[in-house]
Amino acid sequence: MILFFKLSAFYFFYFAAVGVYVIFLPKVFSDIGYTPSQIGIILALAPLMRFATPFLFLKHIKLDQNLFKLSLILSSISASMFYFSLYNFYLLMINNIILGVCLSLILPYMEVISLKELGNSLYGKARLFGSIGFMMISLVLAKFLSSASIAIHYYLVTVILTSIFAWSLLKYDIPHHEDTGVDAKKFSLISHWPFWLSLFLMQMSFGGFYNFFTIYESQHGISLEIISYLWSFGVICEILMFYFQAPLLKKNLLFMIKFSILITACRWFMLYLFPDNLTITYISQGLHAFSFGLYHSAVIIYLYSLYTNKKLAQQFMLGIAYGLGGFVGALISGYLYGPNLFLYASIIAISAYFALIIDNKQKLNQE
């Protein structure tokens, strides 16, 4: 029970911090004068570091407790540095680079501990507290965001609490033999390249949503308070999925992943067609249960069963999907921002589905 509480608290504060970063910091950057292309560049740097960092662990570096502790300390320092870097574009870039490196280590490390200690059935119930944290911060901060410094206050506090609970879970670290150089050498991305391509494209399609949804809906006449309700509604649906998804995860995981991708493509197309229709926008947010909740869990568990080096697999999942996919998605969405933004996102999501079709054909040929 104590373990479940600590893991739930970690997810709660980690994704509360993500909520501040994703929902409110883009609006803060816009309000203090950054252009959409500059916002895209700033927000793309942390995902880029998430992508680059795992490659360092294939040969010479091991993600052990000492390195994990260092990443927790640096993440808190980086969060505090927003006070000094917010109004300087280049300092803000450097700060996001450091933050991206830290984040590329913290979440995959904790995901492996969570799956190892809780198993598939309880993983979703612990993970749903991350969604609760995300939702609560979206509701609270929308009412109190009167200045940029308030957003930074919330971000710093949530990052520090994330680090405290992560530190308390270090005694549940996985055995060292899973991180040996032999396992790292056996680790192959090429053997499953269509699946990794699909992960990349799926998260790339989220670029416009995570970085510009708040701005996009604001420009279509929806207030910041209503937008916070939209974010929260999507998270409520995601929480329900996390709680009840266990039977679905006992079925064909690849089918669940494909289904979630198709739902996501429809979701983006709805936002493209009806950007100012509040009812349709709520429905599209409800689909977050599939496009994130079910999709994320199915991918995490699938990779956990696919690779021997589980930490490295989760690092690359975060790096290639949320890292490279997030980087390219943020960068492109900054330059393509406009009325067709979510049409492009829908096309990219469909491409992720076809990558998995290639993966199926490849497996049939091998058989």
Q: What is the pLDDT of residue 145?
A: 66
DSSP letter at 143 equals: H
The mean pLDDT value for 243-255 works out to 85
The mean pLDDT value for 235-254 works out to 86
Task: Report which of 367, 338, 349, 216 is spatially closest to residue 291, judged by C-alpha positions.
Answer: 349
The string of pLDDT tens digits covering residues 219-232 is: 888 888 898 889 88
Side-chain-side CA neighbours of 50 within 13 Å: the count stands at 30
User: How many Å apart are CA 353 and CA 262, to the nearest integer?
Assistant: 7
User: How many Å apart are CA 234 and CA 342, to the nearest integer?
Assistant: 17
Please tell me which residue, 282 or 224, carries the higher pLDDT value: 282
Lookup: tokens for 5: 């509480």
* 67 — pLDDT class (breaks 50, 70, 90): confident
* 359 — pLDDT class (breaks 50, 70, 90): low
H or E element, residue 307 = none
User: How many Å apart are CA 20 and CA 134, to the nearest integer?
Assistant: 8
The string of pLDDT tens digits covering residues 166-213 is: 998 887 765 554 444 444 446 677 878 889 999 999 999 998 898 788
Q: What is the pLDDT of residue 333?
A: 87
Q: Give me the domains of the chain, ranges plus CATH numbers.
A: 2-366 (1.20.1250.20)
Q: What is the pLDDT of residue 150?
A: 82
Query: By 3-state DSSP, what share of the chain in percent is helix, strand and coil, each rounded to 5?
Result: 85, 0, 15
Task: Report which of 330, 265, 339 is spatially closest to residue 96, judged by C-alpha positions.
Answer: 330
User: How many Å apart are CA 162 and CA 12, to the nearest integer?
Assistant: 8
Q: What is the pLDDT of residue 177?
A: 47
Q: What is the pLDDT of residue 363?
A: 55
DSSP letter at 6 equals: H
DSSP letter at 294 equals: I
Give the dihedral sign, CA 276/242/318/133. positive
> Hey, how many other C-beta atoms are within 10 angstroms of the C-beta on 232?
21
User: How many Å apart are CA 68 and CA 221, to the nearest integer?
Assistant: 44
Interior angle at CA 272, CA 271 and CA 277, nearest 5: 50
The mean pLDDT value for 68-88 works out to 90
Name, of 102-111, 190-199, 287-296, 332-341, the range with top average pLDDT. 287-296
String of b and e for 184-202 (b: at least 16 CB within 10 Å)?
beebeeeebebbbbbbbbb
Sequential DSSP letters for 63-106: --HHHHHHHHHHHHHHHHTHHHHTT-HHHHHHHHHHHHHHHHHH
> Hey, how many other C-beta atoms are within 10 angstroms of the C-beta on 157?
15
Side-chain-side CA neighbours of 272 within 13 Å: the count stands at 17
17, 202 Cβ separation under 8 angstroms: no
Q: What is the pLDDT of residue 221?
A: 87
222, 97 Cβ separation under 8 angstroms: no
The mean pLDDT value for 125-154 works out to 80
193 SS3 class: helix
Lookup: tokens for 121: 């059935």
In the chain, the N- to C-terminal Cα span, in Å, equals: 44
Q: What is the pLDDT of residue 173?
A: 65
Q: What is the pLDDT of residue 68?
A: 86
CA distances from 19 to 59, 61, 118 (A): 34, 31, 25
Residue 163: CB partners within 8 Å, gap ≥ 6? Answer: 72, 73, 75, 76
> Hey, how many other C-beta atoms are within 10 angstroms of the C-beta on 220?
15
